[in-house]
A and B are shown apart, each in its own frame.
Chain A
Amino acid sequence: MRKIVYKLYWDYEKEEAWLNRMVETGWALVHYSVGRYVFDACPSGAYIYRIELLDQAAKHRKSKDYLTLLEESGIEHIASYANWIYLRKRADQGPFELYSDLDSRIAHYRKIKKMWLALTLAEGTVAFVNIGIGLLILGHNAMTWFSLTLIAASCVLAVFFVIYLRRIGKKIGILEEERLVRE
């Protein structure tokens, strides 16, 4: 049996938690492309899913060694999107964590923060350009509503990006505080 769900996530940890809840209800992710999740029926709780951001796309030759390592340690590479990879391991093979110490968890969060920062800057630029265009065409009634909608949309998006960036920043802060006393 197969099931397709359309959904968009900002937060990869929420996405990961959702994939693991789907497994509990007997659905295992088998394909992913932007916003489209394909699930196959599975015994409830059969797998643990993890999502990870790599330095390069999974197809890149520099990712090959890592993917080999994953495969050997019983981890299946289910799907990729940009530099993100979707992984799973059979739950009966024990716990599945990609990062086993604070340093590497902090490094992974930093990588994600950097990527979102770049996206936020790009989005912010789009918002400013929209505002600029809006000011230029002020008074030309036919375009005003269109322009206002664009401005509102890009500003709302930028606010969401900034909120998410701050959330990642907080997570890094908590781990760094813990890192002061232990590894």
Chain B
Amino acid sequence: MSESETQGALTEAVFYILLALHTPLHGYGIMQLVREMSDGRVDLGAGTLYGAINTLLARHWIVPHQADEGSRRKDYVVTDEGRHAVQIEMERLEELLTNGKQIMEGRGDEKNCL
């Protein structure tokens, strides 16, 4: 995997699509699951989702999944590379959260000190 694929933040859409594809799912299923996971906050636009799916396919972070014969819908599933990207992103998010909590929640004390 090249460095460019492991560095930097994932977009919210990409992060949630990769999570949604831990089990094989088609486009509309991804939309519904992401909406559900985020309590309705993340409502992926069809254009945004379709663009992201194509980008992720090109990177091999997801692959088409053999659907039932005759089904006109395409299913996709996350690959090991995709999982790896999510793992790295989670570590990054954890770092942000830890630092954020430390400083933001410690802020009141700092003010008293000053």
Contact = CB atoms under 8 A, between A and B. Distances in A.
Contacts of B42: 100
B48 A104 contact: yes
A183 B47 contact: no
Q: How would you classify the secondary structure of chain B's contact residues: helix, strand, loop or mixed? A: helix
B73 interface: yes
A65 B27 contact: yes
A107 B27 contact: no
A97 B44 CA distance: 9
A100 B45 contact: yes
B38 to A, nearest CB: 11
Interface in B47-63: 47-52
A183 B42 CA distance: 12
Contact of B48 (A70, A72, A75, A101): A101
Contacts of B45: 97-101, 104
B72 interface: yes
Interface in A58-76: 65-66, 68-70, 72-73, 75
B85 interface: no
B11 A73 contact: no
A183 B48 contact: no
Interface of A: 52, 65-66, 68-70, 72-73, 75, 95, 97-101, 103-104, 107-108, 183
Given A68-B73, A98-B48, A101-B12, 6 more contacts: A72-B73, A73-B46, A99-B48, A100-B44, A103-B11, A104-B48
